[in-house]
A = this chain, B = another copy of it.
Amino acid sequence: MKIYEFAQAPNPRRVRVFLAEKGINVPYQQVNIGAGENRTPEFLKINPMGGLPVLELDDGTRIAESVAICRYFEGLHPEPNLFGKGALESATVEMWNRRMEFEVLANTAGAFRNTSDFFKGRIPQVKEYGELCRAAALKRLEWLNEELANREFIAGNRFTIADITALIGIDFGRLTGIKILPEQKNLARWHQAVSSRPSAKA
């Protein structure tokens, strides 16, 4: 078993943090997005979408998509539970994980993809769209700060995959100047707490 990944990208980090929370070790093989290694014909046979990470099992089966990889390991190693237990908590975690994905990560990633030099000439960039994503991300941090006034973690009173998605989404914003403001005290408290977990360094 191994995971193809790129250490600097947010989605591979999501899986690394998840596995660290579970105490699972999987060997990693780096695929350099910066050098276009994820767009070679060889890699497109591994994942036709060109995305990272990709989990490869010993029988050659491949699972792409960070959350799908996390769900695979949740199935094999149910504790500590990170996706919720029972119908209502599972749905709540799914809701928050999706909100963190679409409202936070999609916007910080959209800002980076469309405005950074890293992607210049590599993908078609639409600066105006990137700026909209940036503004949206900042609005979402305001909202998230209010949400966190009355609970410890993103999806409730315990740490779940929604916290991991929020962490990697917010941290990815640094590259485009999207940051938690000093007055966003609830969000800053949460960020300090999740960043202090050993998994955050994975």
A184, CB-defined interface residue at 8 Å = no
Contact A61 B49, beta carbon cutoff 8 Å: no
B103 and A87: CB pair below 8 A?
A: no
Measured between C-beta atoms, what is the minimum distance from A112 to chain B in Å?
A: 15
Task: List residues of chain B with CB within 8 A of the CB of A124.
Answer: 132
Task: Please name the residue on chain B nearest to A95 by beta carbon.
Answer: B68
Interface residues on A, range: 20 to 34
- B99:A71 contact, CB within 8 angstroms: no
Query: Contacting A129 at CB < 8 Å: which of B65, B90, B98, B129?
Result: B129
The answer to whether B75 touches A94 (Cβ under 8 A) is no
Contact with B along A70-96 (1 / 0, CB 8 A): 011111100000000011101110110
Min CB distance, A140 to chain B, in Å? 9
Q: Is A64 part of the binding interface, using a Cβ–Cβ cutoff of 8 Å? A: yes
Residues of A22-58 at the interface with B, using a CB-CB cut-off of 8 Å, are 48-49
User: Assuming the A-B contacts A98-B65, A143-B48, are A91 and B103 also in contact, with contact meaning beta carbons closer than 8 angstroms in the complex?
Assistant: no
Q: A75: which B residues are within 8 A, CB to CB?
A: 86-88, 90-91
Most central of A73, A91, A99, A147 by chain B CB within 10 Å: A91
